[in-house]
Structure 1
Amino acid sequence: MTMSSPARRHQARIRAAQAAASVAPGKTLAGTRQYELMLAKLAVDKRRLKSLQSVARKIDVKREVLPEYVDYVAGVLEGGRGAQDDVIATVMIWRIDAGDYAGALDIARYALRHAMTLPEHYERALPAAVAEEFAEAALRAFSTGEIFPVDFLQEVDELTRSYDMHDQIRAKLQKALGYALEKSDPVRALEMFRRAVDLHDRVGVKKDITRLENELRSATAKKAGRT
C-alpha cells in the first residue's frame, strides 16, 4: 500500500476516532464503516501471512503492513470508549512480534482498561497473551545476548498482575524480569527468580538462583573485608 498524504492520514485518524466514539463500552464496532474497512484489510493481510511457512518471513510481512494500521489505531485510542475491536487487538500482538513493544503497550493499556478480548483463534485471554508474549519476546532477546527494556516488562507485570492466568505464564514473566534486572538490581532479580520457581517449579531458573546467591554472598564478603 502506498503511503497516504498527511491530509488523508489525518482524515483516517479522525474517522477512526469518530467511529470508536460512537459505540458504547462492551459493544462491538462491527457495522461501523471504518472498522469494517480495516477488518477487510486485516483479513487480506492474515491470508498473506497464512500462505507463508517461515516465521521470520511472517515477521517481515508484519513489519511491512503495520504502518498501514497506525492512523486507525491512533484514532481508536484517542476517541474510543472501549468497544470490542478485533483489529487493534490483533495489531497489538503483531506489534510485539515485530518488536514494536512501545506501540503494543499503547494498545494493551487501552484494551485491558476496557476488558477487551482477543479474536477467538488466539485461544487465550488478552491479559495472559500480553504477559506471555512480552515474556517470550524478552527471553528470546536474552538468549541471544540482546537487551530487552526492563521498563516494558515492569509495566506488563503491573498491568496484568490482578488478572487470573496460568501460573506457568506468570512464572515466565517473572523469569524475564529476573534476567532484565540482573545487572542493575541483582537482589531484586533473585526475588523474581524465586517467585518464578514458586509459581512453576520447572520454569528453568534454579541454576540462576544458585549463581546469583553465590555472587551476592561474594560481593557481601568483599564489602565486609573493606570495612
Structure 2
Amino acid sequence: MRPTLAQRNQLRKRAAQDAAAAAPAALMEGLNTYELMLAKLQQDQLRLKQVQSQKGKAQLKQVLLPDYEPYIDGILAAGKGSQDDVLTTIMVWRFDAGDFAGGLDIAAYVLQHNLQMPDRFARTSGCLIAEEVATAASIAQKTGEPFPLEVLARTAELTKEQDMPDEARAKLTLAQGRAVMQGLDETAPGEPGQVQTGLDLLKRAIELHDSCGGKKDLERAERLLKKLAGPAG
C-alpha cells in the first residue's frame, strides 16, 4: 500500500532532520529513518533477485522508486554528507530505470561529499556515474535512438575531476560526440561549430582509448566537415 501524501511529507521531514543531525563523514546507521529505509531496501533487493530479466528489473525499479522519493528529498535538502547506502543505491536504480535527471541530482550530492559506493558495486562513485550514463547512451545510440545531450554534458561536468580508468572516460566522451553529431548532414549542419565540437569529442575519446569504437564516427565527422567547408573554400 502506497503511503499517503501526509506520510510522505512526514518521512521527508524526518529524513531531513536525521541528515542534518548526522556529522559529515559519519554513517547514517543507527538513525531511525535510515534504518527504516535500509530495511525496505533489503526487502526490495530480494524482490529484484527474483526477476532474471534486466528489462524486468528496470521496470520493477520504476515501480519501487517513488517510495524512496521523500527520504531522498530530505537527505538532499539537509544532508551534510554522511555515508548512506540507501542514497547511493537509489542513485543507481534511478539510472537503471531511465531517470537520469533524478540520478544525477543524487550524483551531485554523492560527489560533493565523496560518498562511497557499497562494496558490491566494485567501482568508485565517479567511475560508476560516468559508466552508468555512458552505457545507457551507447545502447540507445546503437539502436538509432537519440540520448539527451544535456544528460551527457551534465555527467561529464560532474565527473571531470574524478579519477577513473581512461576507458570509462572515453566511453562517456564518445557518447557525447555521437550525441552532438546525431542527425547532422549536409542539409542539416546544426549550429555553427557543432560539427567541429562533435569531431573534437570523438578525437578525444580515441585519444583516451584507441579501441573505444569511435573511429568510424570520426571518419564520418571529418567527411562532413570537409563537405561543409568546401563551398566556403
TM-score range normalised by the length of the shorter chain: over 0.9
Q: 1:7 matched to which residue of 2?
A: 6
Per the TM alignment, residue 94 of structure 1 is displaced from its structure 2 partner at its CA by 0.6
Superposed, 1:118-133 pairs within 5 Å as 118-133=117-132
TM-score of the aligned structures, taking structure 2 as reference length = 0.93
The aligned amino acid for 1:66 is L
Is the contact made by 2:15 and 2:75 (CA closer than 8 Å) also made in structure 1?
yes
Is the contact made by 2:178 and 2:217 (CA closer than 8 Å) also made in structure 1?
no
Q: 1:168 matched to which residue of 2?
A: 167
**Matches of 1:26 and 1:152, distance apart in 2:** 28
Per the TM alignment, residue 3 of structure 1 is displaced from its structure 2 partner at its CA by 2.4
Q: 2:228 matched to which residue of 1?
A: 219
Superposed CA offset, 1:100-133 (max 9, x none): 0110011001110000011110000000000000
**Matches of 1:72 and 1:211, distance apart in 2:** 47
Superposed CA offset, 1:56-103 (max 9, x none): 111111111001100000000011111001001000001001000110
**Matches of 1:209 and 1:9, distance apart in 2:** 49
SS in 2 for 1:52: coil
**Matches of 1:180 and 1:25, distance apart in 2:** 38
The aligned amino acid for 1:212 is A
**Matches of 2:54 and 2:14, distance apart in 1:** 34
Which of 184, 187, 210 in structure 1 is aligned with 2:219? 210
Superposed, 1:56-205 pairs within 5 Å as 56-182=55-181, 183=184, 184=190, 185-205=194-214
RMSD (Å), alpha carbons: 0.9
**Matches of 1:162 and 1:6, distance apart in 2:** 39
The aligned amino acid for 1:27 is A
Per the TM alignment, residue 166 of structure 1 is displaced from its structure 2 partner at its CA by 0.4
The aligned amino acid for 1:139 is S
Is the contact made by 2:206 and 2:215 (CA closer than 8 Å) also made in structure 1?
yes
Is the contact made by 2:19 and 2:28 (CA closer than 8 Å) also made in structure 1?
yes
Per the TM alignment, residue 47 of structure 1 is displaced from its structure 2 partner at its CA by 1.0
**Matches of 1:186 and 1:3, distance apart in 2:** 48
**Matches of 2:207 and 2:178, distance apart in 1:** 17
Q: 1:18 matched to which residue of 2?
A: 17
Per the TM alignment, residue 223 of structure 1 is displaced from its structure 2 partner at its CA by 3.0
**Matches of 1:209 and 1:153, distance apart in 2:** 18
The aligned amino acid for 2:164 is M
Q: 2:187 matched to which residue of 1?
A: none
The aligned amino acid for 2:24 is P
Q: Which runs of 5+ in 1 are unaligned?
A: none
Superposed, 1:40-51 pairs within 5 Å as 40-51=39-50
Q: Which runs of 4+ in 1 moved over 4 A?
A: none
Per the TM alignment, residue 149 of structure 1 is displaced from its structure 2 partner at its CA by 1.2
Per the TM alignment, residue 143 of structure 1 is displaced from its structure 2 partner at its CA by 1.4
Per the TM alignment, residue 55 of structure 1 is displaced from its structure 2 partner at its CA by 0.7
Per the TM alignment, residue 222 of structure 1 is displaced from its structure 2 partner at its CA by 2.4
Per the TM alignment, residue 157 of structure 1 is displaced from its structure 2 partner at its CA by 0.7
TM-score of the aligned structures, taking structure 1 as reference length = 0.96
SS in 1 for 2:146: coil
- Range moving further from structure 2, 179-188 or 24-33: 179-188
